[in-house]
A = this chain, B = another copy of it.
Amino acid sequence: MNSTRAAIIEAADRLFYQRGYRDTSFADIAAAVGLSRGNFYHHFKSKDAILDGVIALRRQKTGELLAQWSAESADPAGRIRSFIHILAVNRDPILEHGCPVGSLCVELAKADHEALADAAAIFTMFRDWLRAQFEALGRADDADELAMHLLARSQGAATLASAFHDRSFLDREIESLETWLAHCLGDRPEPQTQGAHPCSSSC
């Protein structure tokens, strides 16, 4: 059945996020889906193949998420706010396990794993989508830098929040990112919000 394959990938997806790739064994995944570990090789030829499946699933989900954000708001600023708000939506898992994309990339980078490029491609999806939004806001010159900057800040916020298990820090960073965004918008002719240049704790 194809649904068995999907069940394995979904369980692995969750476990890889919660425990990491290396720390998740076949036995763990088997227990999670209620199958004997022996017959995994009928569906996947190796553990790396499961990882490939998990990354493919995450890429697909990321694409759907970005499409949803695009559909929910026509305004590029609102779309960027949707991105910022994943930190709030996924607050609890982030506090426990960090960012799913970032922590996987860190692990794969250390292991010199060939799937690193695939995993980092999820970052690229966010990067390209964010860049498109900044371009739509009239920041074509530095759209990619702004996108990477936003990605890096959310990444750092997730890492520190999980290291400290500090929920209020995460909430403050979300606010700070919104201030930063409003600040960005106020800088250029494109009128989207009124930018009084607050320059509070965010800078």
A156 at the interface (CB under 8 A from B): yes
Query: Looking at A149, A152, A176, which has the most chain B CB atoms within 10 Å of its CB?
Result: A152
* Cα A172 to Cα B154 with chains together (Å): 17
Number of copies: 2
* A interface, over-half SS: helix
> Is B110 within 8 A of A163, CB to CB?
no
A190 at the interface (CB under 8 A from B): no
A8 at the interface (CB under 8 A from B): no
Apart from the given pairs A20-B110, A183-B203, 9 other A-B contacts in the complex at a CB distance below 8 Å = A98-B109, A106-B159, A107-B107, A123-B163, A152-B156, A155-B156, A156-B156, A184-B203, A187-B203
> Is A169 within 8 A of B156, CB to CB?
no
